[in-house]
Amino acid sequence: MDVIETVKKRKSIRGYKPDPVSREVLQEILELASRAPSAMNTQPWEFTVLAGEVLENVRRSNVALLNSGTPPNPEHVVVNWPKESIYRQRQVDLAKQLFQLMDIAREDKEKRAKWLERGFRYFDAPAVVIISTDRCLSESGPLLDIGAVMQTICLTAVHFGLGTCIEDQGVAYPEVLRKYAHIPESKRIIAAIAMGYPEWDFPANKVATEREPVRNVTTWLGFD
Protein backbone atom coordinates (compact mmCIF):
# COMPACT_ATOMS: atom_id res chain seq x y z
CA MET A 1 0.00 0.00 0.00
CA ASP A 2 1.19 3.48 -0.88
CA VAL A 3 2.80 5.23 2.09
CA ILE A 4 0.66 8.37 1.84
CA GLU A 5 -2.52 6.30 1.68
CA THR A 6 -1.36 4.31 4.72
CA VAL A 7 -0.57 7.43 6.75
CA LYS A 8 -4.02 8.81 5.92
CA LYS A 9 -5.74 5.54 6.76
CA ARG A 10 -4.16 5.00 10.18
CA LYS A 11 -6.27 6.08 13.09
CA SER A 12 -6.73 4.86 16.63
CA ILE A 13 -9.16 1.94 16.74
CA ARG A 14 -11.18 1.40 19.92
CA GLY A 15 -13.49 -1.44 18.84
CA TYR A 16 -12.28 -4.74 17.37
CA LYS A 17 -13.68 -7.91 15.83
CA PRO A 18 -12.99 -10.95 18.03
CA ASP A 19 -11.09 -12.66 15.16
CA PRO A 20 -7.58 -13.59 16.28
CA VAL A 21 -4.49 -12.13 14.63
CA SER A 22 -2.06 -14.85 13.61
CA ARG A 23 1.36 -15.04 15.15
CA GLU A 24 2.85 -15.01 11.60
CA VAL A 25 1.23 -11.65 10.78
CA LEU A 26 2.29 -10.15 14.12
CA GLN A 27 5.81 -11.44 13.59
CA GLU A 28 5.97 -9.87 10.12
CA ILE A 29 4.69 -6.53 11.44
CA LEU A 30 7.33 -6.47 14.17
CA GLU A 31 10.08 -7.46 11.76
CA LEU A 32 9.12 -4.69 9.34
CA ALA A 33 8.67 -2.16 12.15
CA SER A 34 12.12 -3.00 13.48
CA ARG A 35 13.44 -1.21 10.37
CA ALA A 36 12.55 2.01 12.22
CA PRO A 37 15.49 4.34 12.82
CA SER A 38 17.07 4.63 16.26
CA ALA A 39 19.90 6.67 17.72
CA MET A 40 23.18 5.06 16.61
CA ASN A 41 21.09 2.00 15.69
CA THR A 42 20.71 1.16 19.38
CA GLN A 43 17.18 -0.31 18.86
CA PRO A 44 16.23 0.14 22.51
CA TRP A 45 12.81 -1.52 22.16
CA GLU A 46 11.55 -4.88 23.38
CA PHE A 47 8.20 -6.39 22.48
CA THR A 48 6.00 -8.66 24.56
CA VAL A 49 3.09 -9.86 22.46
CA LEU A 50 -0.01 -11.02 24.30
CA ALA A 51 -3.08 -12.95 23.19
CA GLY A 52 -5.38 -15.67 24.49
CA GLU A 53 -5.51 -16.57 28.17
CA VAL A 54 -2.54 -14.42 29.21
CA LEU A 55 -4.18 -11.37 27.71
CA GLU A 56 -7.48 -12.20 29.41
CA ASN A 57 -5.69 -12.42 32.76
CA VAL A 58 -4.06 -9.05 32.17
CA ARG A 59 -7.36 -7.44 31.18
CA ARG A 60 -9.13 -8.87 34.23
CA SER A 61 -6.42 -7.73 36.64
CA ASN A 62 -6.19 -4.24 35.11
CA VAL A 63 -9.94 -3.77 35.50
CA ALA A 64 -9.93 -5.20 39.04
CA LEU A 65 -7.22 -2.72 40.10
CA LEU A 66 -8.99 0.16 38.36
CA ASN A 67 -12.31 -0.63 40.03
CA SER A 68 -10.68 -1.08 43.44
CA GLY A 69 -9.47 2.52 43.19
CA THR A 70 -5.79 1.55 43.02
CA PRO A 71 -3.91 4.58 41.69
CA PRO A 72 -2.17 3.95 38.35
CA ASN A 73 1.55 3.53 38.69
CA PRO A 74 3.02 3.99 35.18
CA GLU A 75 6.77 3.81 34.57
CA HIS A 76 6.48 6.36 31.78
CA VAL A 77 4.13 9.22 32.63
CA VAL A 78 2.12 10.57 29.70
CA VAL A 79 -0.85 12.22 31.44
CA ASN A 80 0.34 15.53 32.82
CA TRP A 81 -1.06 18.41 30.83
CA PRO A 82 -1.24 21.91 32.38
CA LYS A 83 -4.89 22.75 33.07
CA GLU A 84 -5.32 25.85 30.95
CA SER A 85 -3.12 24.67 28.08
CA ILE A 86 -3.99 23.88 24.47
CA TYR A 87 -2.82 20.32 25.19
CA ARG A 88 -5.45 19.85 27.87
CA GLN A 89 -8.01 21.44 25.52
CA ARG A 90 -7.19 18.94 22.77
CA GLN A 91 -7.62 16.09 25.26
CA VAL A 92 -11.02 17.46 26.26
CA ASP A 93 -12.04 17.84 22.59
CA LEU A 94 -11.14 14.20 21.93
CA ALA A 95 -13.04 12.98 25.00
CA LYS A 96 -16.11 15.04 23.99
CA GLN A 97 -16.07 13.56 20.50
CA LEU A 98 -15.68 10.00 21.79
CA PHE A 99 -18.42 10.43 24.42
CA GLN A 100 -20.78 11.88 21.85
CA LEU A 101 -20.17 8.98 19.45
CA MET A 102 -20.58 6.47 22.31
CA ASP A 103 -23.72 8.24 23.59
CA ILE A 104 -22.19 8.91 27.01
CA ALA A 105 -23.63 11.92 28.79
CA ARG A 106 -21.20 14.06 30.80
CA GLU A 107 -23.02 13.33 34.06
CA ASP A 108 -23.46 9.59 33.38
CA LYS A 109 -20.84 8.29 35.79
CA GLU A 110 -21.65 4.63 35.15
CA LYS A 111 -21.21 4.83 31.38
CA ARG A 112 -18.06 6.91 31.79
CA ALA A 113 -16.62 4.29 34.13
CA LYS A 114 -17.47 1.53 31.64
CA TRP A 115 -15.73 3.46 28.89
CA LEU A 116 -12.64 3.91 31.06
CA GLU A 117 -12.66 0.17 31.72
CA ARG A 118 -12.59 -0.52 27.97
CA GLY A 119 -9.23 1.25 27.75
CA PHE A 120 -7.84 -0.88 30.55
CA ARG A 121 -9.15 -3.94 28.65
CA TYR A 122 -7.26 -2.82 25.53
CA PHE A 123 -10.64 -2.22 23.91
CA ASP A 124 -11.03 -6.03 23.80
CA ALA A 125 -8.41 -6.28 21.05
CA PRO A 126 -7.37 -9.90 20.35
CA ALA A 127 -3.66 -9.01 20.52
CA VAL A 128 -1.56 -6.48 22.41
CA VAL A 129 2.08 -5.49 21.99
CA ILE A 130 3.73 -4.22 25.17
CA ILE A 131 6.81 -2.11 24.53
CA SER A 132 9.53 -1.93 27.12
CA THR A 133 13.13 -0.80 27.29
CA ASP A 134 16.14 -1.71 29.38
CA ARG A 135 16.54 0.20 32.64
CA CYS A 136 20.30 0.51 32.00
CA LEU A 137 19.34 3.22 29.46
CA SER A 138 18.43 6.76 30.48
CA GLU A 139 14.73 7.47 31.09
CA SER A 140 14.22 9.80 28.15
CA GLY A 141 16.92 8.46 25.81
CA PRO A 142 15.01 5.55 24.22
CA LEU A 143 11.70 7.39 23.90
CA LEU A 144 12.26 8.90 20.44
CA ASP A 145 13.33 5.53 19.09
CA ILE A 146 10.33 3.84 20.68
CA GLY A 147 8.04 6.49 19.19
CA ALA A 148 9.47 5.72 15.76
CA VAL A 149 8.99 1.99 16.13
CA MET A 150 5.46 2.39 17.50
CA GLN A 151 4.35 4.52 14.55
CA THR A 152 5.96 2.04 12.16
CA ILE A 153 4.06 -0.81 13.85
CA CYS A 154 0.80 1.12 13.50
CA LEU A 155 1.42 1.94 9.82
CA THR A 156 2.53 -1.58 8.94
CA ALA A 157 -0.55 -2.97 10.69
CA VAL A 158 -2.73 -0.94 8.29
CA HIS A 159 -1.11 -2.79 5.38
CA PHE A 160 -2.37 -6.06 6.90
CA GLY A 161 -5.91 -4.71 7.39
CA LEU A 162 -5.35 -4.32 11.11
CA GLY A 163 -6.25 -1.47 13.43
CA THR A 164 -4.20 -0.28 16.39
CA CYS A 165 -4.44 1.98 19.41
CA ILE A 166 -1.32 3.10 21.23
CA GLU A 167 -2.24 3.15 24.92
CA ASP A 168 -0.71 4.46 28.09
CA GLN A 169 -3.81 3.15 29.90
CA GLY A 170 -2.67 -0.35 28.97
CA VAL A 171 0.53 -0.03 30.99
CA ALA A 172 -0.86 1.94 33.93
CA TYR A 173 -0.47 -1.10 36.20
CA PRO A 174 3.00 -2.48 35.43
CA GLU A 175 2.68 -4.97 38.29
CA VAL A 176 0.02 -6.81 36.27
CA LEU A 177 2.35 -7.11 33.27
CA ARG A 178 5.19 -8.25 35.49
CA LYS A 179 2.99 -10.98 36.95
CA TYR A 180 1.23 -12.33 33.85
CA ALA A 181 3.52 -11.27 30.98
CA HIS A 182 6.69 -11.98 32.98
CA ILE A 183 8.31 -8.65 32.13
CA PRO A 184 11.21 -8.37 34.58
CA GLU A 185 11.97 -5.37 36.81
CA SER A 186 15.09 -4.72 34.70
CA LYS A 187 12.78 -3.45 31.91
CA ARG A 188 10.91 -0.14 31.96
CA ILE A 189 7.43 -0.58 30.53
CA ILE A 190 6.62 2.30 28.17
CA ALA A 191 3.40 1.71 26.22
CA ALA A 192 0.93 -0.81 24.87
CA ILE A 193 -0.45 -1.16 21.36
CA ALA A 194 -3.85 -2.81 21.08
CA MET A 195 -4.16 -4.59 17.74
CA GLY A 196 -6.86 -6.40 15.79
CA TYR A 197 -9.27 -6.28 12.88
CA PRO A 198 -11.36 -3.10 13.22
CA GLU A 199 -15.08 -3.33 13.93
CA TRP A 200 -15.90 -0.41 11.66
CA ASP A 201 -19.50 -0.19 12.91
CA PHE A 202 -18.29 0.46 16.47
CA PRO A 203 -19.21 4.12 17.08
CA ALA A 204 -15.88 5.25 18.59
CA ASN A 205 -14.10 4.12 15.42
CA LYS A 206 -15.87 6.93 13.59
CA VAL A 207 -13.89 9.52 15.52
CA ALA A 208 -12.17 12.01 13.23
CA THR A 209 -9.39 13.77 15.14
CA GLU A 210 -8.30 17.16 13.94
CA ARG A 211 -4.81 18.56 13.55
CA GLU A 212 -3.47 22.02 14.08
CA PRO A 213 -2.72 23.55 10.68
CA VAL A 214 0.98 23.14 9.96
CA ARG A 215 1.32 26.91 9.42
CA ASN A 216 0.57 27.42 13.14
CA VAL A 217 3.40 25.20 14.32
CA THR A 218 6.02 25.82 11.64
CA THR A 219 8.63 28.53 11.18
CA TRP A 220 9.97 28.85 7.65
CA LEU A 221 13.32 30.54 7.20
CA GLY A 222 15.33 31.28 4.06
CA PHE A 223 12.55 30.49 1.57
CA ASP A 224 11.63 34.08 0.51
- Site residues for ligand FMN per CB under 6 A: 11-12, 14, 78, 94, 119, 165-169, 191, 209
Residue 123 vs 180, nearer CB to ligand FMN: 123
Residue 12 vs 181, nearer CB to ligand FMN: 12
Cβ density class 14-41: b for 16+ within 10 Å, e for less: bbbeeeebeeebbeebbebbeebebeee
- Residue 164 CB coordination number (10 Å): 28
Residue 43 vs 151, nearer CB to ligand FMN: 151
- Residue 94 CB coordination number (10 Å): 14
Residue 145 vs 167, nearer CB to ligand FMN: 167
Q: How far is the CB of 28 from ligand FMN (least distance, A)?
A: 22
The enclosing H or E element of 55 equals helix 52-67
Q: How far is the CB of 220 from ligand FMN (least distance, A)?
A: 25
Distance CA 127, CA 199 (A): 14
Residue 24 vs 87, nearer CB to ligand FMN: 87
Of the candidates 201, 176, 171, the residue with the CA atom closest to the CA atom of residue 188: 171
Q: How far is CA 97 from CA 59, 171, 188, in A?
A: 25, 24, 32
